[in-house]
Structure 1
Amino acid sequence: MLRSLWSGVSGMQAHQIALDIESNNIANVNTVGFKYSRASFVDMLSQTKLIATAPYKTGLGGQNDFSVGLGVGINATTKVFSQGSTQNTDVKTDMAIEGEGFFVISPDKGITLNYTRDGSFLFDADGNLVTTGGYVVQGWLKDDLKNASKMSEQEFYHIDSTGPIRNIQIDPNMVMPARSSTNIKLRANLNAGRHTDQNANIYALDSTTKTPADGINPLYDSAGNLTQMQEDMGALFNQDGDAFGLTENQGIWVSYKNAQMINSVVPTKENSSITINGAKVSFSNDSAMSGISTLVAAQNAINGVRDKTGIEAYMEGKLLKLVNRNEMDGDEKTKNIIITKGGTGAFENFVEGDSDITSFRYRYTKSESPDSSTGQFRTTEELRRLLQYDANMIKDPDKEYNDSTASVSVTINKFGMFEMLNQDNGDEEVQNMSIFVASYGSDQVSTNVLFRNTMRGLNTASLLEGGASVSTTRLSHATHTTTIELFDSLGSKHTIRFEFVKTGSAEWSFRAIVPEPSVIYGASATRPNIFEGGRLRFNSDGSLAGMNPPILQFDPKNGSIAPQRLSLSFGSTGGFGGLTSVDKQSETYAIEQDGYGAGDLVDIRFDSVGSLLGSFSNGRTLALAQVALANFANNTGLQAEGGNVFSSTGNSGQAMIGAANTGRRGGVSGSKLEMSNVDLSRSLTQLIVVQRGFQANSKAVTTSDQILNTLLNLKQ
């Protein structure tokens, strides 16, 4: 029998197998995750007639062997695990592996493990993540969903992938429990400039010091609005939002009446002199020669230094009347009428120490304990009290002062204005007043024009007893307000509002307000839903220097866990990551809290590490599970089981299971599928090659057949 006949037959058989393999590749050109195969051709054992010999020492050269091949065979089919292209899909449970690795699947709850590159997953009726063939996808689950309220932000997206894998099963009716708010984080700026467009009226004050007007126990109206509280005058603004910027000893003069003094003038030819308000007045006059009376001469002499004393002289019959309307800005030299050195000559009836004090100086101080006897004030209440006391002492000098019976009341009304009312005290005497405000200034202290102009609204020529009141223009304070919603342990929402008010050059106060019936621990008994007394201090560069308190305790009064601690994360000391105070408009950049209400599972998606993220109706996203990936020492050693499923073999090695993007395992992409890696152009070309190979081998068979026929014909 001719060996060539069997060689041709083996060639046709081998190329038939290659044709089968290539046809299978082409058939699976659209199979998701399919990896094409190739046939490995090997020659068969050769028949050796003579072995090869080495060269002889006698000179005869070596000879090659004499062997004849016996055909071809296929000893293996090799799968090529090159990356297939990925295609976007509209299915959120689809997944594609980019790189090495296989999805781990099981038909029997994890007892048997199989592997696939086909990520066409879906959820069955029991919430199992399965392949289209019903295999359950394996991975890791988040077991502690019930403790979600205690998870940190990182734990929300982290799943422990070091434990054993199991079926991925997600309850479609899953509910995330509520988490009570524990932290409020605020990033904002509080305006440190000399002008602000965010201002509000200063708090009102009544006309008696025996009420909570001192600011220790603030008063509120029925709507919960703060109505009475004293404030630092140095931190206030005028009605246009321009800061007074009061510095030490800056202030005003307030005159409640014109200062007056009447006395007779002694006719004389002698030199006459007197010192009034520290200024010396002198003259010499012989009326017989000058034709000017001594009275007129005295009047002219006093009026000649009016710019130094503020005093103007008038003749009232045969008497000399001195009047100071206290209208000049400056120091005490131009206020009131004070005989600082007794008169001589024509002025001998004016005695040293005589005075009429109707104008009072009020000076700002930063001291917490101002000396009221010298007119010092720091707060709105201290200035109001000084104004009221002095006004009453001028009106009724012989009457003992008492707040409750004061006939002149000074208040701060709801419009943020100092208001003065000259009430009828019930006697028969009509005691009108005249009010004039001037600024205080000296060589050491500059005048504060903004403060003076605001207070000058009190000016009136006649503050009638029993008549209408007078008031300053509006005083304001810089404010900023921000609001955020909180959650309690039941998932109920509560609004908390923070109101900031500037209280010093680098200090702000804040209060926290929650709707009733909720209460904040540390609030007053009358308004338990309003916490007062928060303090903020800033450094010279605008960074936060300190705050108090750092924690609030809140009780929703609805049966939820109480007290609920709220950490106020308003920034770190010396940092700019929270509250700042620079010359820039007050603005909240971000305010957030860590609580949320209960939520139902409404959507899912996969991320790049194979985590199954669940979106809940409360706006939170939680990692529910993570898909496991497996890789092998020899991917080509896997056994194809059909249905895009592989199983491990002795030659593939054990599966090395872990998370995506670890240990040579590739990444994953959600809503994508890996397509077949079959290259049609290559496969069709290979078909031609295989076809030609088959045809050539068939020719070898027919040629051998012809030779056999020739041998048979030799007998004939």
Structure 2
Amino acid sequence: AFDLGIDGTLVNPSSGLHVMGWQANPLTGKIDTTVPATNITIPIGAGMTGKASTSLTADGNLDANNAGGALNAVNLSSTVYDSQGNAIPLTLTFTKSAANTWSVAPSTTDPGVTVTGTSTIVFNGSGKVATGGTGTLSLTLTNGSTSPQSVTLDMSQITQLASTPSSLSSSTDGASAGSLTTFTVGQAGDITGVYSNGYKQPLGQIALASFSNPSGLSKAGGNLFAASANSGTPNIGTPDAGGRGQIATGFLEGSNVDLAQQFTNMIMAERGFQANSRVITTSDEILQDLVNLKH
């Protein structure tokens, strides 16, 4: 298992040895695996600036039996974020204007924001989107953040089926400001940071080494092995590539001892000890008899 050292680097807690790999660019999240591997730092508690929303995805179902008109409109409440991480409440109003046809109008209750970008969705006979599955929202902001802000609206997964009431949900790629609370490690050695605002961002990549002759590695103790002349030079790269194995996360390594064989050895040792004890006891009794005969 890996843990954090006092300097914030990823280490093996049993040996204190550092886990080597590549650090992600804190601004772009990109990882360059062509440079030499170094210690990996996990900045727990470090903050991240807000991420502006560039997309808003709506899905769910609109009731095919909706009577239409403003009185029967369906509202979807959502939230997007500006470049400073401020949350902006949005409402998408779906109004049925004709058979299989719905208009979509955005609005907001934030007095410092103006939003435009109406759309029209047309469904086919199977209740799936035929046209109008995407649109663009334009937000004009007066709080000093980047303006205007363009948000792509994806409605391609919405269906129109006979189901009362209509049920819609949404998600966005934006986030408010937050701090790093924990991290996860994937099978490919990718380290992902989880922030208090729910946002996830790459932090680094663990390196793995393969050898042309693994049997030639020399034992260093503590489940550690060192390269030798027989093992060849290490081929360092990303896990699950180039013949290198995967990283198992959330697992506890099982014992590599044959329990049946060890129990057999223990019983044999116990029986041997008992036999030797009886030999000593018998010898003592014979000597005692000899002493008694002398007297």
Secondary structure class of the residue paired with 2:184 = strand
Secondary structure class of the residue paired with 2:247 = strand
How far the C-alpha of 1:161 sits from its partner, in A, is: 4.2
Could you tell me how far apart the structure 2 residues matched to 1:568 and 1:653 are? 54
Secondary structure class of the residue paired with 1:181 = coil
Higher share of residues assigned helix: 1
Quote the residue 1:587 is aligned against: 166
How far the C-alpha of 1:191 sits from its partner, in A, is: 3.1
Are 1:177 and 2:39 an aligned pair? Answer: no
Quote the residue 1:558 is aligned against: 143
Could you tell me how far apart the structure 1 residues matched to 2:134 and 2:79 are? 20
Are 1:478 and 2:61 an aligned pair? Answer: no
How far the C-alpha of 1:650 sits from its partner, in A, is: 0.8
Go from structure 1 to structure 2 and tell me whether the alpha carbon gap of 1:534 and 1:518 turns closer, same or farther (over 3 Å shift).
farther
How far the C-alpha of 1:537 sits from its partner, in A, is: 3.3
How far the C-alpha of 1:683 sits from its partner, in A, is: 5.9
1:70-100 Cα shifts (integer Å, max 9, x gaps): xxxxxxxxxxxxxxxxxxxxxxxx1xxxxxx
Quote the residue 1:122 is aligned against: 3
Higher share of residues assigned strand: 2
- Whose radius of gyration is greater, 1 or 2? 1
Gaps of 5+ in 2: 273-295
Quote the residue 2:15 is aligned against: 133
Go from structure 1 to structure 2 and tell me whether the alpha carbon gap of 1:558 and 1:552 turns closer, same or farther (over 3 Å shift).
same
Quote the residue 2:204 is aligned against: 625
1:121-148 Cα shifts (integer Å, max 9, x gaps): 3221211222333321111221x22235
1:100-499 matched pairs, under 5 angstroms: 121-131=2-12, 132-142=14-24, 144-147=25-28, 159-193=31-65, 196=67, 477-499=71-93
Contact kept in structure 2, 1:479 and 1:501, CA below 8 Å: yes
Quote the residue 2:120 is aligned against: 535
Identity %: 31
Contact kept in structure 2, 1:632 and 1:654, CA below 8 Å: yes
How many positions carry a matched residue from both structures?
A: 268
Contact kept in structure 2, 1:600 and 1:618, CA below 8 Å: yes
Q: When the two structures are superposed, what TM-score results if normalisation uses the length of structure 2?
A: 0.77
Could you tell me how far apart the structure 2 residues matched to 1:665 and 1:489 are? 41
1:536-585 Cα shifts (integer Å, max 9, x gaps): 333444433433982121023211111110111112xxxxx33x334443
Quote the residue 2:291 is aligned against: none
Contact kept in structure 2, 1:480 and 1:586, CA below 8 Å: no
Secondary structure class of the residue paired with 2:63 = coil
1:597-644 Cα shifts (integer Å, max 9, x gaps): 122111123222222232110112233222222222222322223444
- Decide which of 479, 495, 502 is 2:96's aligned counterpart: 502
Go from structure 1 to structure 2 and tell me whether the alpha carbon gap of 1:682 and 1:484 turns closer, same or farther (over 3 Å shift).
same
Quote the residue 1:103 is aligned against: none
Could you tell me how far apart the structure 1 residues matched to 2:133 and 2:9 are? 52
Quote the residue 1:602 is aligned against: 181
Quote the residue 2:288 is aligned against: none
Contact kept in structure 1, 2:134 and 2:152, CA below 8 Å: no
Secondary structure class of the residue paired with 1:581 = strand
One-letter amino acid of the structure 2 residue matched with residue 543 of structure 1: K
One-letter amino acid of the structure 2 residue matched with residue 651 of structure 1: N
Q: When the two structures are superposed, what TM-score results if normalisation uses the length of structure 1?
A: 0.34
Contact kept in structure 2, 1:604 and 1:614, CA below 8 Å: yes
- Decide which of 608, 611, 614 is 2:190's aligned counterpart: 611
CA RMSD of superposed structures (Å): 3.1
Go from structure 1 to structure 2 and tell me whether the alpha carbon gap of 1:551 and 1:649 turns closer, same or farther (over 3 Å shift).
same
Contact kept in structure 1, 2:22 and 2:33, CA below 8 Å: yes
Secondary structure class of the residue paired with 2:132 = strand
Are 1:674 and 2:253 an aligned pair? Answer: yes
Could you tell me how far apart the structure 2 residues matched to 1:672 and 1:549 are? 43
Could you tell me how far apart the structure 1 residues matched to 2:217 and 2:206 are? 21
Gaps of 5+ in 1: 1-93, 95-120, 149-154, 197-234, 237-475, 523-530, 572-576, 693-716
One-letter amino acid of the structure 2 residue matched with residue 488 of structure 1: D
Go from structure 1 to structure 2 and tell me whether the alpha carbon gap of 1:684 and 1:513 turns closer, same or farther (over 3 Å shift).
closer
Secondary structure class of the residue paired with 1:497 = strand
1:633-652 matched pairs, under 5 angstroms: 633-652=212-231
How far the C-alpha of 1:685 sits from its partner, in A, is: 6.6
Secondary structure class of the residue paired with 1:669 = coil
Contact kept in structure 1, 2:193 and 2:202, CA below 8 Å: yes
